[in-house]
Structures are given as structure tokens and as C-alpha cells.
Amino acid sequence: MFRLLVFFLFVFASFTTPKATFKTTQLKHPRVKAAFQEKGKLVNKLYTNKNLNIKNSHIFIRVFKQEDELELWAKSKTSQQYIKIKTYKICAKSGTIGPKSRAGDGQVPEGLYQINRFNPASNYHLSLGLNYPNQADKIRAGFFPTGGDIFIHGQCVTIGCMPITNECIEELYIACVEAKEALQKTIKVEIYPCKLNNENGQKIFKKYAKNREHIKVWKILQKSFDYFENKHIPVSYSFDKKGNYVLN
């Protein structure tokens, strides 16, 4: 009889106890909890000012290295087109424009990525990790080690990452947590050498004309940049057998 009672109590508890979600798991970490308490209303207002509900939105991120800018875009889950929410200043950088090709080169990657890690206890306050190296990066590096651990994070120090201060990473982290809570499977991040409009494109293509690897990557990124500028929809892509981007 006692065992039967325990069984029924266990079954009842399984139906009445709320299941842990991505957000509730993140909120167990002190820095994330503090960020939501201090910045949650502000971030919500950024969305409502654009007629969006943060609880029902997906996001997209663009980074421009030359301009030191990171853009946060969002859309309703039922919409296709994204709306710019805010532009954040990248407060420290290393390397120059041009893709990252190997470990230790100090470069910030350039290409089409996605967020694949949330670090709520980062050495740099809060961190969002990128899936660098992707297939294109691995092919470009050849036999050299590619390096890794590329993050968007707080503070203002970096070797190959994208810091945007503790205050700003709290806002962006909240947006990313809410997007995951709204069941966004892939948060895309596109990193460019600069805003690749016709004028800027011509300038860097001319300046780095002898660097075929840079030009090869940039021509693909220019198509991706133009697509989003025209449609406000991130380009879909895959990789061919040689690791090259194939824009769909």
C-alpha cells in the first residue's frame, strides 16, 4: 500500500511540477538573474517600441568590423522580415579586416555563423559563443590549427572576440535567452569586414586586390549583405564539398 501511494505521488508530481525551460535554467545563474532584474524592462521596451513582443520573437545579429558595430534585429515568429532593434558599439578589437585563418592570428572571424553556446559565468561577465570554425574556415586553414572560442562578450578586452561592455552584453544576452525560449533553433550571426555596399566594397576590393583569399570570402559576403539589405531576411546557405559557402 505504501509503495502504491509513493507511486501515485510521483505521478502526480510529474504532472504538477513545471518543467525546466532554457530560460528558467539560465535564471539560476546569478549574473543572468541580475541582468533580467536590472535590464529586463529596458529590453522589453526596445521590442515594444518596434511593435514586437519579446516573448514571441526571433533574432538575428550582424557585425561590422571596420565600423565597430553589432546590430540586433528581431521579428515576430510569424513574420519573415526582421526589424532593427539596436546597434551596439564594439568597445575593443584585435587584428584587422580580413577573415580569421588560423589559431593565434588575433583576427575576428568573417563569415556566416550561429550562436552555439551561452556562458552565464564567463570571465568576461556574460558570453555568447559562435560556431567558429565552420566548414569554410576549416578548409581555408588547411593543415594549420583554426583556433576557436570566439565569443560576443562583456568587458572591453579581446583577442579575436567581440566585446560590447558588461551593460550591453546583458541586453543582448537577454534577447538571445528570450529567442531560445521562443523556440528559435538557430540564432544566425553574420560578421563582415565592413558594410559591404558598393562604395565600401569597391574600396576594400581595390586595396586588397592581391589577396585572393580575402576577395573570395568578401564576394560571397557581399551577396549575403545585399540580400539582407534588400529583403531584411538573412540568406540561407550551405557548404559544398570543398567547404565553400553556397548561398541558397
Q: Looking at residues 219-243, what average pLDDT do you find?
A: 94
Answer whether residue 12 shows pLDDT above 60.
no
Answer whether residue 155 shows pLDDT above 80.
yes
Domain boundaries, the chain: 19-195
Element (H, E) at 55: none
Question: Where residue 213 falls among pLDDT bands split at 50, 70, 90?
Answer: confident
SS (H, E, C) 63-86: EECCCCEEEEEEEECCCCCCEEEE
Q: How far apart are CA 241 and CA 248, in angstroms?
A: 15
Task: Calculate the CA 212 to chain-centre distance.
Answer: 27
Element (H, E) at 24: helix 22-26
**DSSP class of residue 61?**
E
Greater pLDDT, 168 or 142: 168
- Cβ-based burial of 173 (10 A; exposed 0-12, middle 13-18, buried ≥19): buried
Alpha carbon dihedral 137, 237, 227, 165, in 10-degree steps, equals -50
Answer whether residue 38 shows pLDDT above 80.
yes
Q: What is the pLDDT of residue 18?
A: 61
Which CATH architecture does the domain made up of 19-195 adopt? Answer: Beta Barrel (2.40)
Question: Where residue 118 falls among pLDDT bands split at 50, 70, 90?
Answer: very high
